[in-house]
Amino acid sequence: METIFELLYDNDLLRRELLDNFIPEAFDRKTAALLKQSGRSISAPRIKELRFRSGDRLRQHLPGDMKGWFPKKISWQQHRPMLEWIYFGRSDFSAPFYDQMLLRHGQNPINQLLGFTSPLDLVPKPEGPAPVPLSGLIFHISRCGSTLVSQMLSAVNGHRVISEPGPVDAVLRGRFRDPSVGDDLRAQWLKRLVNIFGQRLTPRDRRLFIKLDAWHMMALPLIHRTFPGVPILFLYRHPLEVLVSHERKPGRHTVPGEIPVEWFGGTKMQLKDMGLDTYPVWVLESMLNTACDHAESIRFSSMDYAQLPESLWAIDNNPFGLNFSDGEIQSMKAASGYYSKDPGRRFRNDTREKQKSAGVKLRGLVKKMMLPTWEKWLESHGNRIRQP
């Protein structure tokens, strides 16, 4: 049986025949037929069993022609980032989050049968046409409409939006895996990932946008230096409304221990002194303070939740400096009518509801811990769309 897998891993031409067979039964029959032509006798039902077998599928091997292969996750082996691959094919990237894309395509038969991993620092540039240009980076304070923005952008034909990809987070926080990982190395790895995300799959591909995780605001200077000249949009919202949302369903960065406290400029001693109700407020203040500190030197655009969705497609002053056509604006308007995290629900602005439901304790914490930073932000940078 190992001989069969060696053949599938080593024979790029044979494997290429299997890639776009997304119907499991057809994939199993095709695989069995191709193996038979190569002198290996195996039945389609046995191929099905192998797709669901337990055990390690990964081989340290590039997937040959890399077109349609995307980053799945990054693991670390002896202080070296190893990139695991997944085959998307010519996917439309319509899911609200990259993790949902991984779940969807994890069901593709080729991804069930085979697994590839390779050192990130040895990944070559994708072959073929030049990658789709990176047209915008989306930062946000969380629960402030960033997913709505990414869904509106992805509704435009030729746009590809990569939303909160785990491999980017793994690279940005790589120094917590290996303290010797410096900014230059992280920048190099980020460029490799963006080249892969931007591989041109169809002639229609024109623009690439990446929406980062909320806590990546702390890495704004590094990301800006890595991609100078790429327009940056920072989305924000009244902190009380953001924190009400996190009270109901905590985000990863608001749970102590999920993201190292040092990432936000704190210490473990500070963490010990903070309660569960205080920590999310402190994290939000750290992110907003970073935005204040760099808004002039980096000159990114900013947008309040209350300005959505119309400000995204503003003809004279949209945050990415793009001249959207009437058709593109109509596509974004259509997408803006739905709740971004659940396309089956209609979107509505819930500012009043969030403000009304905030408890006395939370209001007190926000006033004590965030009010000065919030007022500083509004006075100097809030509610302004500015071209980089």
User: The domain that contains 233 carries what CATH number?
Assistant: 3.40.50
H-helix or E-strand spanning residue 190? helix 183-197
Residue 6 sits in the same domain as residue 131: no
**Distance in angstroms (rounded) separating the CA atoms of residues 113 and 110:** 5
Helices 239-248, 360-369: crossing angle, 10 deg rounding: 130
Three-state SS for 82? strand
Decide which of 55, 76, 91 is a domain's last residue.
55
262 lies in the same domain as 369: yes
Regions in the chain scoring below 70 on pLDDT: 1-2, 54-56, 315-317, 338-348, 382-388
Q: Are residues 9 and 147 in the same domain?
A: no
Identify whether 21 is part of a domain.
yes
User: Is residue 116 within 8 Å of 8, Cβ to Cβ?
Assistant: no
Q: Rounded to whole angstroms, how far apart are CA atoms 288 and 261?
A: 16
Q: Are residues 25 and 165 in the same domain?
A: no
Rg of the chain, C-alpha, whole Å: 23
User: What pLDDT is recorded for position 258?
Assistant: 96
Report DSSP state, residue 84. Answer: E
Instruction: Tell me the C-alpha distance between 376 and 239, whole Å.
Output: 13
Q: Are residues 275 and 353 in the same domain?
A: yes
Report whether 261 contacts 267 (CB < 8 A): yes
Tell me, yes or no, whether 45 and 192 share the same domain: no
Q: Which domain holds residue 46?
A: 2-55
pLDDT of residue 155: 95
Cα 104 from chain centre: 15
Number of structural domains in the chain: 2
Structure tokens at 47: 């191929």
Residue 40 shares a structural domain with residue 146: no
Task: Based on the fold, state whether residues 232 and 325 are members of the same structural domain.
Answer: yes
Helix (H, G, I), strand (E, B) or coil at 104: helix
- Of 27, 55, 83, the position where a domain reaches its end is 55
Same domain, 204 and 285: yes
65: in domain: no
Give the up-direction half-sphere exposure of residue 130: CA atoms within 13 A in the CB hemisphere: 4
Residue 365 in tokens: 């914490």
Q: Are 366 and 240 in contact (CB under 8 A)?
A: yes
CA distance 302 to 386: 7
User: Within a domain: residue 351?
Assistant: yes
- Give the domain-ending residue among 55, 79, 95: 55
Nearest CA among 246, 181, 248, 259 for reference residue 215: 259
Structure tokens at 309: 């969705």
Answer yes or no: is 354 within a domain.
Answer: yes
Please check whether residue 92 lies inside any domain of the structure.
Answer: no
Predicted structure pTM score:
0.93
User: Rounded to an integer, what distance in angstroms lies between the CA atom of residue 12 and that of residue 1?
Assistant: 19
CA angle 6-128-138, nearest 5°? 100
What are the tokens at 178?
Answer: 């290996």
pLDDT at 350: 84
Q: Is residue 200 part of a domain?
A: yes
Q: What is the DSSP letter of 121?
A: G
**According to the model, what pLDDT value does residue 55 have?**
62
Q: 74-131 pLDDT, tens per residue?
A: 999 888 999 999 999 988 898 999 999 999 999 999 999 999 999 999 988 777 788 9
